[in-house]
Amino acid sequence: MAVSIKSAREIELMRESGRILAMVHEELGKAIRPGITTLEIDILAERLIRSYDCIPNFLHYNGFPASVCVSINEEVIHGIPNKKRVLKDGDIVSLDAGLIYKGYHSDAARTHLVGDVAPEVQKLVEETRNCFFAGIKMAKAGNHLFDISNAIDEYISQFGYGIVREFVGHGIGARLHEDPEIPNFTQARRGVKLQPGMTLAIEPMINLGRADIEILDDNWTVVAADGLPSAHYENTVLITDGEPEILTMLK
């Protein structure tokens, strides 16, 4: 498995790609409210991405028909925007978006609360975000890749949630999905040694109930098999000599 090490120039392009995506997510977050359709979210996302002269990398990726994945409640990832899907009070909605800036990809996901959400579901969303940060504490040169996986698992398991295993994080750069794969659960091996210049999309997908998932008849939408809510949190991260740099968050 070859993990690409980005040059100084590539890192600059990835920083800009990530910064733009962070701004896109900020704007999308402001649009989330009961009554908006998932198609309206997609239209806004594509317009925002193109307004920065960037390309939505999810659009047509393996045939995906939209610029952003919009996954509601028990939908884990890869929800297809639709004019008939309307957000309602009490929902959670995961937005996974990415873009290409001058040939370099960024990828990030956020789960938003829609109106008044049950406390146990709010906690799921919060802890899913927190387990990402527990994971990237280990994302330093000299550590090994699966130190990240183990830290995510160790943090999130205390709550009894289900960690989705069929979908994992990934390297990212001149392509959306590069080596290595980054599981969100404990690994027996150590994985590759982390080096400055690696860029990784780390993305825990956490179910309130059991870990099992199913894929709907649209061949895209991944849902929690038990029908309970699921949350997703992702950033594109640069490995450095010191602390990791989160490329898809505004400073």
Tracing tokens 């789960």 back to the chain, one arrives at 111
Q: Nearest approach, Cβ of 177 to Mg ion (angstroms)?
A: 7
User: Between 46 and 203, whose beta carbon lies closer to Mg ion?
Assistant: 203
Q: Nearest approach, Cβ of 119 to Mg ion (angstroms)?
A: 28
Q: Nearest approach, Cβ of 98 to Mg ion (angstroms)?
A: 7
User: Between 117 and 205, whose beta carbon lies closer to Mg ion?
Assistant: 205
Q: Nearest approach, Cβ of 16 to Mg ion (angstroms)?
A: 19
Q: What is the DSSP string of the chain?
A: -PPP---HHHHHHHHHHHHHHHHHHHHHHHH--TT-BHHHHHHHHHHHHHHTT-EETTTTGGG--SSEEEEETTEEE-PPP-TT-B--TT-EEEEEEEEEETTEEEEEEEEEE-SS--HHHHHHHHHHHHHHHHHHTT-STTSBHHHHHHHHHHHHHTTTPEEP-SS-EEE-SSSSSEEEEE-SS--SS--SBP-TT-EEEE--EEESS-S-EEE-TTS--EEETT---EEE-BEEEE--SSS-EETTS--
User: Between 201 and 246, whose beta carbon lies closer to Mg ion?
Assistant: 201
Q: Nearest approach, Cβ of 43 to Mg ion (angstroms)?
A: 22
Tally the residues of the chain. 251
182, two tokens: 């980054």
Residues near Mg ion (CB under 5 A) are 107, 201, 203
User: Between 36 and 81, whose beta carbon lies closer to Mg ion?
Assistant: 81
User: Between 91 and 107, whose beta carbon lies closer to Mg ion?
Assistant: 107
Instruction: Decide: residue 37, CB within 10 A, 0-12 exposed, 13-18 middle, 19+ buried.
Output: middle
User: Between 3 and 117, whose beta carbon lies closer to Mg ion?
Assistant: 3
Q: Nearest approach, Cβ of 183 to Mg ion (angstroms)?
A: 13
